[in-house]
Chains A and B, each alone.
Chain A
Amino acid sequence: MLQGLFILLLCQLLGELLMMAINAPIPGPVAGMLILLVGLMILGRVPDGLRLTATGLISHLSLLFIPAGVGLMVFADQIKQQWWIILVALLVSTFLTLIVAAWVMERFKSKEGQDHGVN
């Protein structure tokens, strides 16, 4: 548990430092995730303590969005003025994104003619 938290925070710190050093546009925690992934690939397995902490954090992931989400209240004015723009943009874009992603996957699957995913 403690070991897991330590590894996660350490990777995040390394990620933040690395991105600061090379001035890249990737958020520190994402870089930390990649660093951890590379580490796990080298190690070849997930240490028990790390899996325990990670599973705990991920299973309550949605709770962690709430403090930032409540921050929407600060933007009440902008949302009031532009709510229909936001709504239309999100709806149409999400619809198109679903179509494109599913279409590309379907195309490749049928071309490959493999068994994966055909159920």
Chain B
Amino acid sequence: MELTKFWVYFSAQPLFWIIVTLAVFMLAKKLNEWAKGSAFLHPVLVAMAIIITLLMLTGTEYDAYFSGAQFIHFLLGPATVALAIPLFDHLARIRRLFFPVLLACLSGSVTAVITVVAIGHVLGGSTEVLLSLAPKSVTSPIAIGIAEQIGGYPSLAAGLALITGVMGCLLAPLVFRLFNVKRQASQGFALGLAAHGFGTAYAMQLSTLTGAFAGLAMGLTGVLSSILVPFVVRLMGL
């Protein structure tokens, strides 16, 4: 009886779900360390799965969870702005490789949107799902913004972007082997473009140069896609 009262009180407090989110994330990171950094057990995916299970087991609505977790979510805004710092740090490199980098970014971003929307459309996906798929190669904070802008579901878009990130890390070694991509700049750029933050983290493990190019690709793709995706989606008649 006492325990129920306790639960009813605390589960309604924002503090409770903030603590749960932090605790589960720390646990998920530990699990990932034990699994030697496997992309399948990415801490974000594991934490999401655990929290969703917890909410379903306790019959808690997402809105109740979000009333607390929104304070963590809010930090995405300033964190996105903060991405200007690594971009500034790589500015000299961007200037030197301005043309190839811009062209690779443009063609890669266009490929990402058009193929995912076209395939989803051919297979019969609903409009809302297609619009949430469109920003999938963009880092989640920006994907959320784009989805809001074009009429997709922001949460779904964020989740799909996370899943894309994991897929990119799993597919990249295969692509690099099949197409004989050996240069670190190219590997890093492809990873950051197709798999945003996940790809960047993976590229950092390969080498710092690969990681720098991945970070650059992630930032540029984010900026370019927020202009491109609404435009391409409109062109495709959605």
Contact = CB atoms under 8 A, between A and B. Distances in A.
Contact of B159 (A28, A51, A72): A72
Please indicate which of the listed interface residues B77, B160, B181 has the most CB atoms of chain A within 10 Å of its own CB: B77
B164 A71 contact: no
Given A68-B155, A88-B119, A116 B97 contact: yes
A35 B24 CA distance: 35
A107 to B, nearest CB: 8
Contacts of B56: 73
Given A51-B85, A68-B144, A109 B185 contact: yes
Contacts, number: 313
A63 B25 contact: yes
Interface in B23-76: 25, 43-44, 47-48, 51-52, 55-56, 62, 65-66, 69-70, 72-73, 75-76
A22 interface: no
Q: B interface, how many residues as a size bin?
A: 35 or more
Interface of B: 21-22, 25, 43-44, 47-48, 51-52, 55-56, 62, 65-66, 69-70, 72-73, 75-89, 91, 96-97, 99-101, 103-105, 107-108, 111-112, 115-116, 119-120, 123-126, 128-129, 133, 136-137, 140-142, 144-146, 148-150, 153-156, 158-160, 162-164, 167-168, 171-172, 175-176, 179, 181, 183-187, 189-191, 193-195, 197, 209, 213, 217, 219, 222-223, 226-227, 230-231
Interface of A: 5, 8-9, 11-12, 15, 25-30, 32-34, 36-37, 40-41, 46, 50-51, 53-55, 57-58, 61-75, 78, 82, 84-86, 88-106, 108-109, 112, 116-119
